[in-house]
Amino acid sequence: MTHPQHDREPAEHQRYAHYLQALDAVSEAEEAELVAAVLRDQDEAMAQGAVVHHLDRRAAQLLTDAEFTVWAHMMAAVIGERDYLARRLREWTLLRTIALDEPWAAEALTAASDWFQRTAATAQIITSSDALSLLAEQGRTRRVRNAASRRMEQLDQPPN
C-alpha cells in the first residue's frame, strides 16, 4: 500500500511538464518572454533543462530557414551568460553553418561537445565530407568516429 504523499509528483516535475507544454505552444512573438520566465524559476537545473529541450526543438525546425539567425540572436539575448545554454545555441549555429556548406573552422568542430559531435555525425542534413572526415578521424569518442565513418560510406554510395 502506498501513502498518498509518496504518490504525488514533485512540484518541479509538474512545472517542468508545464513549461515544456507552454514552450511547445508558444507563439514567436511571445517566445522570448516565456523563455525568460522559465529561466527565472527557482530550480535552475530544471528550468535550463526545459529551455534546452525547447532550443533543440526550435533550432532543428529552423536550422536551414533564413529566420534561424534572428531567432538565435533573440535566444542568445534571453539566455545571457548561462554557459550550458549559450554553448548549445552556439553549437546549433555551427551545425547550421556546416549544413548550409558555409565556412567553418576545424577547431570549432573538434572542440565541440560530445552532443554536438554525435549530432553532426548522425544528422542526415550534414553532408559535408570535410566535416564527416574530420569527425571520423578526430571525433572525441569511438561512437562519434564510427558514426561519421558510416555516414561517409553512405554518402559515397550511389543512389539506387
Instruction: Spell out the per-residue pLDDT of the chain, length 160, in tens.
Output: 455 555 688 888 999 999 999 999 999 999 999 999 999 999 999 999 999 999 999 999 999 999 999 999 999 999 999 999 999 999 999 999 999 999 999 999 999 999 999 999 999 999 999 999 999 999 999 999 999 999 999 988 766 6
In this prediction, residue 125 carries a pLDDT of 92
In this prediction, residue 4 carries a pLDDT of 54
In this prediction, residue 1 carries a pLDDT of 44
In this prediction, residue 5 carries a pLDDT of 55
In this prediction, residue 89 carries a pLDDT of 98
Contact 89, 116 (CB under 8 A): no
Secondary structure letter of residue 10 according to DSSP:
P
- The Cβ-side half-sphere exposure at 108, using a 13 Å CA radius, reads 16
Output the DSSP codes for 11-25.
HHHHHHHHHHHHHHH
- The Cβ-side half-sphere exposure at 114, using a 13 Å CA radius, reads 4
Instruction: Tell me how far apart the alpha carbons of residues 4 and 43 are, in angstroms, rounded to a whole number.
Output: 24
Q: What pTM was computed for the model? A: 0.89
